[in-house]
Amino acid sequence: MLDSCFPDFIRARHIANAGCRGAAWALHTCYGRAFLVRTAHPTRLLDNSPLPLAGEGRGGEGSLGAYIMPPLPTSHPALHSLRALLCGFAQIFLQQHPGCGLLVLLAILVGAPDLLPGALLSGLTSMLIAQRRGYPPADIAIGLYGYNGILLGLLLCLKLPWTPLLPGLIIASAALSSLLLAPWMRRMRKYGWLPAFTFPFVLLGWLLLALFGQLQPLLAPPADIVATPELNALQLLLAVLCGLGQVIFLDSPWAGLCLLLGLRLADGHAALWALQGSSGGLMLAMVNGWPTDAALSSLYSYNASLAAIALSQVHRCPLAPGAGVLLALLLQFGFASLGLSVLTLPLILACWLIRVALQSWHRVLRDTPPTA
């Protein structure tokens, strides 16, 4: 169903034993991704919501490509924390596969190793704050309290030089990202708020960049359309890969390849849509005569890639992710023309608009009396 649950609020159903004595598996949907975790109450839903229909969105039993995160063979807290940290890196791309998170780490190491310490420090801080505050363990385990902090750590390391002040700033901003996300998630589950996505990252990122005088657009459209030079297939392929890397501020095609492999490991469907989103951004930039250097660096594509991943995991019909890609591209260009640093705001707005539009449409259909 097109109006099925959107990111990040929990639905659960009792999955038949699954070979575990008396144990039940609760099916969560977070950012559209399905995963299973153990629950101590086999017949009780985690949020007391009605059982979703089979095949609903990408969270039902009929979902294809859903990654089932198995329980660790040990209860050692360090291993659970390590997996949660890796899942935090994977959640940047709306996945919860620890192997995907490991490949995201590899991409940072390949593309910009100087950003890696900040990413690790911020990811650990976000996770530890969530644990200390007693936030839901299932949310922590799949990295929900990691990705906003990691993005902030990457942004701060990219924009500011390493000084004695920087680690403290990274720790403080990562902690605040978890503190901002928790009440939003509670209200989303209780009152049906729109999902937060990377809003804590965008809000805190803008505040920090403004504080340090770094709030500048990454790109701006030219005043006049210029002729597009001839490009070969290899240049276009590398630009598409760079579109994935730009999600985490990397313009290396090798980093983009690592990210693509990570997405393929977690969900081949998501990897395909990520490529389509990046390709769409590149094509639209080239057709409109935007700066070739910026287009080949895929500064126009990363929000479209994320929107494609997010919406494709909730909606089986390609119309919704396709519309999300177009909206993200238009919003990216619009904000750039206004001289604003967009970060991942086009992703958030595109997904919000798609969800609100679909909810309104289904409300109209539900309230319209059938014709004779």
Looking up residue 167, the CATH number of its domain turns out to be: 1.10.3430.10
Q: Taking residues 215-235, report their average pLDDT.
A: 56
CB-CB contact of 135 with 178 (8 Å): yes
Q: Tell me which residue of 107, 58, 105, 60 sits closest to 83, measured CA to CA.
A: 105
Residue 251, in any domain of the structure? yes
User: Which one, of 35, 105, 28, lies nearest residue 66 by Cα?
Assistant: 35
> Any residues with CB less than 8 A from the CB of 81 and at least 6 apart, and which?
127, 131
pLDDT recorded at residue 6: 40
Q: Are residues 189 and 153 in the same domain?
A: yes
Domain count, the chain: 3
> Strand order of the sheet with strand 33-39?
14-15, 24-30, 33-39
Say yes or no: 88 and 65 in one domain. no
User: Same domain for 52 and 156?
Assistant: no
Under DSSP, the state recorded for 16 is P
- The mean pLDDT of 230-243, rounded to a whole number, is 82
**117-121, 138-142, 186-190, 218-222: least confidently modelled range:** 218-222
Are both 101 and 121 inside the same structural domain? yes
Please give the residue range of the domain that contains residue 63: 1-71
Question: Do 187 and 268 share a domain, yes or no?
Answer: no
Rounded Cα gap, residues 273 and 217, in angstroms: 26
Please report, rounded to a whole number, the percentage of residues in the chain having pLDDT higher than 90. Answer: 47
- The reply to whether 62 falls in a domain is yes
Same domain, yes or no: 64 and 93? no
Q: What is the pLDDT of residues 56-112, one digit of tens each?
A: 333 332 233 345 566 666 667 888 899 999 999 999 999 999 999 999 999 999 999
Do 84 and 206 fall within a single domain? yes
Strands 33-39 and 14-15, by their bridges, are unpaired
Number of helices and strands in the chain (H, E): 14, 3
Is 95 found in the same domain as 65? Answer: no
Of 71, 91, 113, the position where a domain reaches its end is 71
Determine the Cα–Cα distance for residues 145 and 123; give it in Å rounded to an integer: 8
Q: Which helix (H) or strand (E) holds 365?
A: helix 345-367
Nearest by Cα to 178 from 148, 208, 209 = 148
C-alpha 132/C-alpha 119 separation (Å) is 20
Indicate whether 266 and 282 sit together in one domain: yes
Position 270: which residue type? A
The answer to whether residues 256 and 355 belong to one domain is yes
What's the predicted TM-score (pTM) here?
0.78
Residue 228 lies in a domain: no
Give strand pairing partners of 30: 33
Maximum pairwise Cα distance, the chain:
74
Would you say 341 and 206 are in contact if contact means Cβ atoms under 8 Å apart?
yes
Exposed (0-12), middle (13-18) or buried (19+): which is 15, by Cβ within 10 Å?
middle
Across the chain, mean pLDDT equals: 77
Residue 258 in domain? yes
Q: How do residues 283-307 score in pLDDT, each as one tens digit? A: 877 777 666 666 666 677 899 999 9
Nearby residues of 44 by Cβ (< 8 Å), 6 or more positions away: none
